[in-house]
C-alpha cells in the first residue's frame, strides 16, 4: 500500500497541488487513513478501493476527513488511468457519487472530474464580517460583480472577489483564528478571487479547516465557483461554457484549472487539468 504522490492541476511540468493517492484492495480504518494522511502531509490524500464497477473513495486532510477534494480526485484519476488504462471511473464518495476521466497528455496525464450537484446562496453578513476581519479586508475591497457567496459542490466554500489583484497577492491570516472560523461555519475553504476577465480568474484558497494554510489548486472550490457563476447568470455561460482559474502563482506553485459548466443551475461542474508525478 505504497502512496502515490501527484501534483494535480500542474502548469506543465511545474506547480500544481500535491496530493497523496492510496489504491488498495480494501480501505484502511478511518484512524489509519487519518494517520497516513498526516504522515504524507499534503493538504489531502485520496483512498480508493474497487467496489463492483466503481471505486469507493475517501479523502483525508492532515487534521480531518473531508467530503470531497477536487485536486486529490484529479490525482486519483491519473493513478487509476496508469494502473487500469485511460477511461472514465465511477467514484462512490461518503456523501455523493461522481466520475473522473483520465488520459495521457504528452509526457503527463490529464484528468477531469464531474462534481456533485452545485448550489449557492449569499454569504450571511455576520460570516462575511468575520472573514473580512480575518483577512484584514474592508467591504470596499470587494468586487460587486461577484457578491460574497456560500457555494457548494460536494463541499462548502466561502467565495469573495477582490477588486485589486495586489490585495489577493498579499493574502494573510491568523491560522488558529481561521481554523476556528472555518470549523465553526462548516467552510472547507475560503476562496479569495480576482476577476481577470469574464472567463479568467485568479484565486487563493485558505484551508485552515484541513490543517493547511493554503492550497495551490482547489478543484472543489473551482466547481463551486462554476456553479455560482451559472446561478448569477454570468456573461457567456448561459448556454454553457468554460472559465480558467489560475491559482498558486503567489505561492510559487502555478496551477491551472479548467472549469466547464452546462449553463443550468444546480448541474454538476467539470473541472480538469494535467498532473505530474512528484
Residue 210 has pLDDT above 90, yes or no: no
Enclosing H/E stretch for 215? strand 212-215
Distance of CA 261 to the CA centre of its chain: 16
CA distance 64 to 268: 25
Quick: pLDDT tens for 166-176.
999 999 999 99
**Average pLDDT, stretch 209-225?**
94
Cell numbers found for residue 138: 474592508
**Average pLDDT, stretch 74-89?**
97
Q: Which residue has the cell 488498495?
A: 24
22-35 b/e (C-beta count within 10 Å ≥ 16 → b): bbeeebbeeeebbe
CA distance 159 to 203: 10
Q: In the chain, how long is the greatest CA-to-CA distance?
A: 53
Question: Which pLDDT score is estimated for 12?
Answer: 92
Quick: pLDDT tens for 124-174.
999 999 999 999 999 999 999 999 999 999 999 999 999 999 999 999 999
Residue 235 has pLDDT above 90, yes or no: yes
Reduced to 3 states, what is the DSSP secondary structure of residue 83? Answer: helix
Output the DSSP codes for 119-187.
EEEEPPHHHHHHHHHHTT--GGGB-TTS--EEEESSSEEEEEEBS-HHHHHT----HHHHHHHHHHHT-
CA dihedral 139, 141, 144, 149 (to 10 degrees): -70
C-alpha dist (Å) from residue 245 to 76, 129, 248: 21, 26, 10
Amino acid at each position: 500500500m505504497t502512496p502515490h504522490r501527484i501534483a494535480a492541476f500542474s502548469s506543465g511540468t511545474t506547480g500544481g497541488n500535491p496530493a497523496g493517492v492510496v489504491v488498495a484492495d480494501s480501505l484502511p480504518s478511518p484512524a489509519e487513513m487519518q494517520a497516513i494522511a498526516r504522515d504524507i502531509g499534503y493538504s489531502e490524500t485520496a483512498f480508493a478501493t474497487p467496489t463492483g464497477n466503481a471505486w469507493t473513495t475517501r479523502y483525508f486532510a492532515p487534521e480531518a476527513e473531508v467530503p470531497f477534494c477536487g485536486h486529490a480526485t484529479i490525482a486519483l484519476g491519473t493513478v487509476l488511468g496508469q494502473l487500469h488504462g485511460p477511461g472514465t471511473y465511477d467514484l462512490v464518495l461518503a456523501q455523493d457519487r461522481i466520475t473522473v476521466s483520465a488520459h495521457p497528455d504528452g509526457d503527463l496525464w490529464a484528468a477531469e472530474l464531474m462534481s456533485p450537484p452545485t448550489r449557492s446562496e449569499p454569504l450571511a453578513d455576520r460570516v462575511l464580517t468575520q472573514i473580512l476581519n480575518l483577512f484584514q479586508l474592508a467591504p470596499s475591497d470587494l468586487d460587486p460583480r461577484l457578491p460574497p457567496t456560500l457555494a457548494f459542490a460536494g463541499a462548502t466554500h466561502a467565495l469573495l472577489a477582490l477588486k485589486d489583484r495586489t490585495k489577493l497577492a498579499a493574502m494573510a491570516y491568523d491560522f488558529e483564528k481561521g481554523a476556528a472560523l472555518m470549523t465553526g461555519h462548516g467552510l472547507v475553504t475560503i476562496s479569495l478571487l480576482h476577476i481577470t476577465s469574464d472567463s479568467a480568474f485568479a484565486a487563493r484558497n485558505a484551508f485552515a479547516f484541513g490543517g493547511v494554510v493554503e492550497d495551490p489548486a482547489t478543484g472543489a472550490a473551482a466547481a463551486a465557483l462554476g456553479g455560482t457563476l451559472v446561478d448569477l447568470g454570468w456573461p457567456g455561460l448561459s448556454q454553457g461554457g468554460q472559465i480558467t482559474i489560475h491559482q498558486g502563482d503567489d505561492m510559487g506553485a502555478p496551477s491551472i484549472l479548467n472549469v466547464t459548466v452546462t449553463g443550468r443551475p444546480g448541474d454538476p461542474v467539470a473541472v480538469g487539468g494535467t498532473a505530474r508525478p512528484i
